[in-house]
Amino acid sequence: AEWSGDAIRRRFLDFYAARGHKILPSSSLVPDDPTVFLTIAGMLQFKPIFLGKEPRRVPCATTSQKCIRTNDIENVGRTSRHQTFFEMLGNFSFGDYFKKDAIKWAWELTTKEYGLLPERLWISVFEDDDEAFSIWRDVVGVPEERIKRLGEDDNFWTSGATGPCGPCSEMYYDFHPERGSSTADLADDSRFIEFYNLVFMQYNKKDDGSLEPLKQKNIDTGMGLERMARILQNVPNNYETDLIFPIIKKAASMALVSYSTADDTMKTNLKIIGDHMRAVVYLISDGVIPSNIGRGYVVRRLIRRVVRTGRLVGMRGDGPENSESAFLPSLAEAVISLSSEIDPDVGSRRKSIIGELQREELRFVQTLGRGEKLLDELLDEALVSAGDNGDNPCLSGEDVFLLYDTYGFPVEITAEIAGERGVTVDMKGFDIEMENQRKQSQAAHNVVKLSVGNENEIVKSIPDTEFLGYDSLSATAVVKG
């Protein structure tokens, strides 16, 4: 029988519970820690214990943690394995067991419980971690050629600029063993997917970058639930698993398209909708309200991206009133109906989540409406001046950018409407404007590193600003590996 996402989650927690771990609930997407922006990994709720600032209550624990990684926003729908919202299954040791048990159990769970074929599994270890290398080879029995030594970028995990960290070891699944071992490259995502990361958490990274050994050696792991579901359900990407696909199907039906026959662009757009809807529902449920600052800005940006993407694929409200009613509420219902095992609180907050989404959508649609009016005027001007000069009518890059940046007006829609009136758009000019803005916001980001550990600053320093375009806030968490 096929593994449902819920069954995969349950098996993970039960497996570790049977090995002395206490099953604990997911913590909020908004961490209890004012220095942390959003929850990017399962370890965050245990950070004070790892650092020795709080006593451990149990020797080891296991969770399924809701996570948000906005640094992956551009990957959504484009890679097969990244969402902004995902669940991270984890087992944690607070000075209890260490490398050997962590590795043995990860292998046993993966091969015996989930039944993945051992010859499909590849391993990475930190380049000088001979101990982990030999546990995989000599204790577990993985052939040497399937254990790769990788550098700091991949195999030294830090949750942010400072804080608990350590070398890690990752498990990869091979979708194409027929391609052979000699040229295998774990970074080739047409062949491999990383699904489980075991972090040997034994240092505290200090402000000056130095590594101070922690009093205890800890284990912190993360397995992407949607990635394991993708492997076990044998679908081409995380989005087509039972954890996300029902939302995508709902979106497709509201747009009167069929996912299975859609082209790649349409599929990507539907995946963006499926992912971002999950993110915004869980963020709002955890108390993050759309706004122009800090976490609220993340939600606003995600909502606007869903709305513009939804309009692009032809979605309109499916409420009885009229075709201009909001469409987020129906999509949110699809998210909420999948939520009971992920977060039982979401269902009870249904009404306020939906109300918030509806308000925000209608507000944004009004902004878009103003953009439409402006676009009409700009098109009139372009037609008149082209007529005067005998040129082909064209909308300047500056104008397209103004519509995009100030009015949240999707470029694709600008081009389409312009095309209907026989006007082309200067995409080169638009790209130049975008690039200028990217450079400016990059400069701002270099001042404000949006990572766990110094987020206090960030929450304060994200400017209270008019909406600046969808892509001006791309890195909210810096995660190595």
Give the SS3 label for residue 416: helix
The site map against ligand ATP for 87-106 (x = CB under 6 A) is: -x------------------
Cβ 226 to Mg ion shortest distance, Å: 13
DSSP per residue, 451-470: -BTSHHHHHHHS---S---T
CA distance linking residue 318 with residue 287, whole number of Å? 27
User: DSSP labels for 109-176?
Assistant: IIIIIS---GGGEEEEEETT-HHHHHIIIIII---GGGEEEE-HHHHEEESBSSEEEEEEEEEEEES-
Structure token digits, residue 92: 């944690």
Q: Judged by CB under 6 A, which of 96, 174, 220, 226 binds ligand ATP?
A: 226
Q: Does 164 participate in binding ligand ATP (rule CB under 6 A)?
A: no
CA atoms within 13 A on the CB side of 8: 27
For 101, the 3-state DSSP assignment is helix
* Nearer residue to ligand ATP within complex by CB, 214 or 244: 244
Work out which of 124, 158, 197, 204 binds Mg ion, going by CB under 5 A: 197
Considering only 9, 56, 81, 276, the residue that binds ligand ATP (CB under 6 A) is 81
Q: Give the up-direction half-sphere exposure of residue 232: CA atoms within 13 A in the CB hemisphere.
A: 25
Print the binding letters for residues 396-425 with ligand ATP: x by CB under 6 A, - otherwise. ------------------------------
When asked if residue 479 is in the footprint of ligand ATP (CB under 6 A), the reply is yes
Computed from CA positions of residues 471, 472, 477, 478, in that sequence, does the dihedral angle turn out positive or negative? positive
Helix/strand/coil for 444: helix
Q: Pairing mode, if any, of strands 85-93 and 211-224?
A: antiparallel
Rounded-to-integer distance, Cα 394 and Cα 118, Å: 59
Q: Which residue's structure tokens are 């026989």?
A: 422
**96, 129, 174, 194: residue in contact with ligand ATP (rule CB under 6 A):** 194
Q: Which does 356 bind (CB under 5 to 8 A by kind): Mg ion, ligand ATP, none?
A: none
CB of 94: closest distance to ligand ATP in angstroms? 19
Establish if 148 lies at the interface with ligand ATP (CB under 6 A).
Answer: no
Whole-angstrom distance, CA of residue 136 vs CA of residue 129: 11
Tell me if 69 contacts ligand ATP by CB under 6 A: yes
Q: Which stretch binds ligand ATP (CB under 6 A): 51-59, 216-224, 386-394, 438-446?
A: 216-224
Residue, CB closest to ligand ATP = 224
- Find the shortest distance in angstroms from Cβ 69 to ligand ATP: 5
Q: Which residue carries 């909210």 as its tokens?
A: 476
Residue in 283, 294, 273 with CA at minimum distance from that of residue 345: 283
- Smallest separation, CB 233 to ligand ATP (Å): 15
- DSSP-assigned letter for residue 71: G
Q: Is the dihedral of CA 442, 446, 448, 454 positive or negative?
A: positive
Which window, 79-87, 240-248, 336-344, 410-418, contacts ligand ATP (CB under 6 A)?
Answer: 79-87
The strand pairing partners of 192, in sequence order, are: 174
Total residues binding ligand ATP (CB under 6 A)? 18
Q: Is 478 in the site for Mg ion (CB under 5 A)?
A: no
Q: Does 227 bind ligand ATP (CB under 6 A)?
A: yes
197 binds ligand ATP (CB under 6 A): yes
CB of 276: closest distance to Mg ion in angstroms? 18
Choose which of 195, 203, 297, 470 interacts with ligand ATP (CB under 6 A).
195
Residue 11, SS3 per DSSP: helix
Q: Does 223 bind ligand ATP (CB under 6 A)?
A: yes
**Is 481 an interacting residue with respect to Mg ion (CB under 5 A)?**
yes
**Both structure tokens of 66:** 């809701």
Of the listed pieces 175-183, 222-230, 242-250, 415-423, which binds ligand ATP according to CB under 6 A? 222-230
Minimum Å distance from CB 480 to Mg ion? 8
Q: Which of residues 442-471 bind ligand ATP (CB under 6 A)?
A: none
* Identity of residue 305: R
Choose from Mg ion, ligand ATP, none: what does 227 bind? Cβ within 5-8 Å by kind: ligand ATP
Residue 226 near which of Mg ion, ligand ATP, none (CB within 5-8 Å, type-dependent): ligand ATP
Q: Which stretch binds ligand ATP (CB under 6 A): 93-101, 112-120, 190-198, 429-437?
A: 190-198
Query: What's CA 102's distance to the chain center, in Å?
Result: 26
Q: Which residues are 173's β-sheet partners?
A: 121, 193
- Does the protein bind ligand ATP through residue 86 (CB under 6 A)? yes
Residue 231 CA to residue 114 CA, distance in Å, equals 10
- Residue 222's binding partner among ligand ATP, Mg ion, none (Cβ under 5 to 8 angstroms by kind) is ligand ATP
Least spacing, CB of residue 193 vs Mg ion, in Å: 10
Using only the alpha carbons of the chain, give its radius of gyration. 24
Binding site for ligand ATP (CB under 6 A): 69, 72, 81-83, 86, 88, 194-197, 222-224, 226-227, 479, 481
